[in-house]
Amino acid sequence: MANYLVLSSSIVFFLFITFFSCPSNAADYNVLNSGAKPDGKSDSTQAFHKAWGSACNSTQTATIYVPRGRFLLKNVVFRGLYKSRIEFRINGTLVAPSDYRAIGDSSGYWILFVQVNSVSVIGRTLDAKGGAFWACLTSGKNCPVGARSITFNWANNILVSGLTPINRELSHIVINSKGDCNNVMIRNVKIIALDQSPNTDGIHVQLSIRVTISGNSIRTGDDHISIGPRTRNLWMEGIRCGPGHSVSLGSLAKELNEDGVQNITLTKSIFTGSDNGVSIKSWARPSKAFVRDISFQNILMRNVQNPIIIYQNYCPNNQGCPSQSSGVKISEVTYKNIHGTSATQVAVTFDCSPSNPCKGIRLQDIKLSYLNKPAQASCRHIGGTSTGVIVPQSCL
């Protein structure tokens, strides 16, 4: 999973980003009328700035309309207190500059919504042109920090629908990396990144309450959905994953005083050819974090390397893990009606913390095979119950 940087507020925020603040009445604003050009070459950043300012001043629901064509955008921040709901309707393609350093050398964001309420982003394609950035990362050269595609910070009552983010430098959709978000819906989104592209998480959620992710197709080079600290009441349904890593709670315990993850559900989803299926992952070091009230249910695995896994001994290069034991307390996790095939012989791995064993783990109606034979399970430092048909045989 990508490590998410939390920048200090004392840093000069976004040196090269245009801040889009609402200054105070038609309701529809076509970016062409603000000077945007759909040629994919002319910088349309200021035109989007102007359309946002006009929409902010509308006393009725406002639509910022992006017609067909390719619109070049540099780093942009949309922020402000406004008078009514704002909808971005994107019928064209938003394109990042060809030079990956143009957006990756500043703040870690390409398109950022910050301190906004009641915003919808509906439409088509966000092309971040990340190929050259991925090549830089894999070459060992000195590369910029990179930029996430679309991010929401301190945002409430948000809808993201129908988007197709492609060629991302880092994560595609982030809710959020700096401040609390509440009541967010991400639906019918198609995320595409090469399976060898590093750190391209599909959707990252943290510091957020009441987020719903439904009907999405996610192909990435990292986690399909990554879930960070202080995520509560997250509902995920109808997710099609693969290739990529997993739907992952974690990595947790990056910080000692990290908040916990609670009331998370993933249901009616399919994993195809991914590295992992449903995953809970923490660093092997002290932490005040917790994971509880988690439900993974009604899931089909197709040739997945680790369909079910809890791994609490994450410590790359054995650095930064003084006790080699995770402080994260994992409890009340249910795995129900998970069927399909494993690409490895051990389909169920529970490798929990020796100092904080997993508790209240429940298996119900699990059937996972490997090469047309029952798969195997492995358990360490875990307690729980099993009911129904359990294949591989439970090791709880």
Would you name the residues annotated as active-site residues?
Answer: 222, 245
Helix (H) or strand (E) holding 109: strand 109-127
Cis peptide before 243 (omega within 30 of 0): yes
Query: Dihedral angle at the C-alpha atoms of 41, 42, 45, 51, nearest 10 degrees?
Result: -120
User: How are beta strands 86-95 and 76-79 bridged, if at all?
Assistant: unpaired
Token pair of 347, please? 């389909």
Exposure letters 194-213 (e unless 16+ CB within 10 A, then b): bbebbbbbbbbbbbbbbbbb
Q: Is 231 helix (H, G, I), strand (E, B) or coil?
A: strand
Contacts for 172 with CB less than 8 Å, ≥ 6 apart: 148, 149, 150, 165, 191, 193, 200, 201, 202, 203, 220
d(CA 169, CA 172): 8
Cis peptide before 233 (omega within 30 of 0): no
> Which conformational region is residue 118 in: left (phi greater than 0), alpha (psi within -120 to 50 degrees), or beta?
left
H helices of the chain, where?
45-56, 101-104, 131-139
Q: How many residues does the chain have?
A: 396
